[in-house]
Amino acid sequence: MASAGDISDLPEANEAPLVIDVQFIEEEEEPFSQPLEAADEISTARPRSPMDLPHSLPTPNGRARVVTVINQKGGVGKTTTVINIAAQLALRGHRVLVVDSDSQGNCATGLGVDKSRVRNTTRDLMLSPETAVDSRHATAIENVHIIVGDRSLIGLEQEMMRQLGRERRMSEALEPLLSHYDIVLIDTPPSLGLVSINSLVASDGIIIPVQTEYFALEGLALLAGTIREVRSLLNERIGVDGVLLTMHAQTLLNKQVAGEILESFPDLVVSPPIRRNVRLAEAPSHGVPIHLHDPSSAGGKDYQEITTVLERRWGLSR
């Protein structure tokens, strides 16, 4: 390290060099056949802050595993992941509760629930944890129940700012439900505010969907910092169950970013990457998960395989 001194002692600063992490060259789309492995030409750029993602612990006996699906970056596939993993697990006989803590409320739509007909929502659960049992709704999928998020969540964080124990509301609310389910999946908004913190405090594990695009790793560094803080101050058990690569295509950029993520978290990345697939994007408009819309599509197959890996990690395989 250079010793401190007068700035005039320093040689003149270089003109800011361009940092080129990856090449923005599209490749011809080709069938997605190779297993995921670090791309051949991985850039030498490294994240600037340490990205230590802690591993999770097994679920305590006799109760549901609680898993938060989180990434403060918007549109990376959090909700699509919650809906389709929930549906896949239910299809395999597991009892699933989805908790939508996002005011966009897309989990309800994607699971065929009409939000306008719902009385209690995630907002009620956060303000009055004892309402959780009565806030669950059936969905279009047998064995999947939902606590609906909706616009009423907007402004909630401000309202809760002065409440004692505000980070533990979700945890308190879910406690009486845990012995009745095998898994609780929490969808989060694209932010790291109080509602997301509540979800992390209530959880055993974390799933991080990451779009294999530029800036993916920078976003992960911020999230890793939040996870570390939650672990040291509020929930020492929490850890990461998996990093999912989403909306993946066979472009050079996508492959290089996937390679970097894989290098950074070799044991946490869940393979295969989820391919960019229009059938996944269409399914919510029909109010069904991909396994009812088009199970043999690329997206349908990828979510099936991902669920098999996670089922094993979560100790749910029979």
Ligand X SMILES: Nc1ncnc2c1ncn2[C@@H]1O[C@H](COP(=O)(O)OP(=O)(O)OP(=O)(O)O)[C@@H](O)[C@H]1O
Tell me the pairing of strands 144-147 and 137-138.
Answer: antiparallel
Q: Which partner in ligand X, Mg ion, none is near 77 (CB below 5 to 8 A by kind)?
A: ligand X
- The one segment of 19-27, 114-122, 145-153, 280-288 that binds ligand X by CB under 6 A: 280-288
- Which phi and psi angles does 88 have, rounded to 5°? -65, -45
Please tell me the distance from the alpha carbon of residue 2 to that of residue 208, in angstroms, as a whole number. Answer: 38
Task: List binders of ligand X among 71-110 (CB under 6 A).
Answer: 74-80, 102, 104, 106
| CA 49 vs CA 40, 55, 206: distances in Å | 24, 18, 20
Does 211 bind Mg ion (CB under 5 A)? Our answer is no
CA dist 52 and 228 (Å) reads 8
Q: Is 248 helix (H, G, I), strand (E, B) or coil?
A: strand
Closer residue to Mg ion, CB minimum distance, 72 or 304: 72
Does 288 sit near ligand X (CB under 6 A)? Answer: no
Whether the Cβ atoms of residue 271 and residue 36 lie closer than 8 Å to each other: yes
285 vs 204: CA distance, rounded Å: 31
| End-to-end C-alpha distance for the chain, whole angstroms | 55
Question: For residues 188 and 256, which CB has a smaller minimum distance to Mg ion in the complex?
Answer: 188
Judged by beta carbon, residue 129 or residue 275, the one nearer ligand X is 275
Q: Quick check: 78 binds Mg ion (CB under 5 A)? A: yes
The entry of ligand X, Mg ion, none that residue 75 binds, CB within 5 to 8 Å by partner kind: ligand X
Of the residues 274, 290, 306, 310, which one makes contact with ligand X according to CB under 6 A: 274
Q: Does 256 help bind ligand X (rule: CB under 6 A)?
A: no
Write down the least CB distance from residue 159 to ligand X, Å. Answer: 21
Residue 204 binding partner per list ligand X, Mg ion, none, with a CB distance cut-off of 5 to 8 Å that depends on partner kind:
none
For residue 31, report the phi and psi dihedrals to the nearest 5 degrees. Answer: -55, 145
Dmax (CA) of the chain: 71
> Which segments within 152-233 are labelled E, that is strand?
183-187, 205-211
- The correct pick among 45, 154, 233, 281 for binding ligand X (CB under 6 A) is 281
Nearest residue (CB) to ligand X, 143 versus 212: 212
Contacts (CB under 6 A) with ligand X, residues 176-205: 190
Gap between the Cα atoms of 99 and 129, Å rounded: 13
- 76 binds, options ligand X, Mg ion, none, Cβ within 5 to 8 A by partner type: ligand X
> Which residue from 256, 277, 304, 307 is in contact with ligand X, where contact means CB under 6 A?
277
Per-residue contact string for residues 4-33; x = within reach of ligand X by CB under 6 A: ------------------------------
Q: Quick one: 256 or 277, whose CB is closer to ligand X?
A: 277
Q: Return the sign of the alpha-carbon dihedral for residues 103, 107, 109, 115.
A: negative
Which amino acid belongs to residue 9? Answer: D
Measured distance CA(59)–CA(98) in Å, rounded:
17
- Residues engaged in binding ligand X (CB under 6 A): 74-80, 102, 104, 106, 190, 246-247, 274, 276-277, 280-281, 284, 299
